[in-house]
Amino acid sequence: MYTENNDTLYIGGEAFDSRFILGSGEFSLDLIQAAIKRGGVQMVTLALRRANQVGLANILDYISKGITLLPNTSGSRNAEEAIRIARLCRELGCGDFVKLEIIRDSRYLLPDNGATVTATAALSQEGFKVMPYMYPDLNTARDLADAGDVAIMPMGAPIGSNQGLLSKAFIQILVDEMDLPVIVDAGIGRPSQACEAMEMGCAEVMANTAIATAGDIPQMTEAFKGAIQAGRSAFLARSGRVKAHGGEASSPLTGFLGEGSEA
């Protein structure tokens, strides 16, 4: 299980105080700055198409200095396309971090775990800090670690679905068994679900659609921030035991009027 005694999160040798990654794929540019500020985020995803829009507003102009960019390879259908997109992002000045995303299934948008392992190995050899989006599977997670990734990003539910932690049991296995940060990516629809992921011991949560489709984006971003912090605090505090059957009084139900007590 991945923890740090001082609760600073380390990914790829970089230190982060925030455990909230903001996905920017569905945001209008004028709301990105507000969301970053209200969410206290230190890492923001970035799609190549938004970083290289000739003649249009550039998303990089809306992301303040000091924020770590996490360009993703969305749109890639195989390892070769993902590697090419990652290289282009680095040439554009986005740094060495990359969210590796390879999807050849257009209906359910499920990640291709095999191609993701192949691309992770190649990009790690080139000095990239690879954070792969993957279907939560322990064998794949171990292969990704062997390939050199710096974190694993299992899906909670299909991308953009807001269905929450449909794969909770499998994510818990990764949290228990892997010695890398486990970051829930995709499917988180409500702050309460982000809190639950953090209570499980996940290192971080990424949210995009749930915030971008909210009626008040800055306020929803702040709600996610609070939920993630609460979940992390609960995990560190170690939740109390669960009693399978019956109840147990938290205060004495008898004996509080001892013998000889006056009415």
Residue 23 gets which letter from DSSP? P
Instruction: Look at residue 61 in the predicted model and tell me its pLDDT.
Output: 66
Report the greatest alpha carbon distance in the chain. Answer: 88
- The whole-number pLDDT of residue 9 equals 94
Closest CA to 99 of 44, 55, 51, 145: 44
Share of the chain above pLDDT 90, in %: 56
CB atoms within 10 A of CB 135: 15
C-alpha span between 135 and 141 (Å, rounded) = 9
| Domains with residue ranges and CATH for the chain | 23-237 (3.20.20.70)
Read off the pLDDT band of 14 (50, 70, 90): very high
Q: What is the distance between the alpha carbons of residues 106 and 96, in angstroms, rounded to a whole number?
A: 28
- Pick the closest to residue 101 from 43, 46, 165 (CA basis): 46
Dist CA 60 CA 44 (whole Å):
10
| Residue 223: pLDDT over 90 | yes
Q: Look at residue 119 in the predicted model and tell me its pLDDT.
A: 97
pLDDT tens digits for range 157-189: 988 888 989 999 999 999 999 999 999 998 899
Tell which residue, 33, 24, 4, 1, has the closest CA to residue 16: 4
Q: Which residues are catalytic?
A: 99
For residue 257, the surrounding DSSP H or E stretch is none
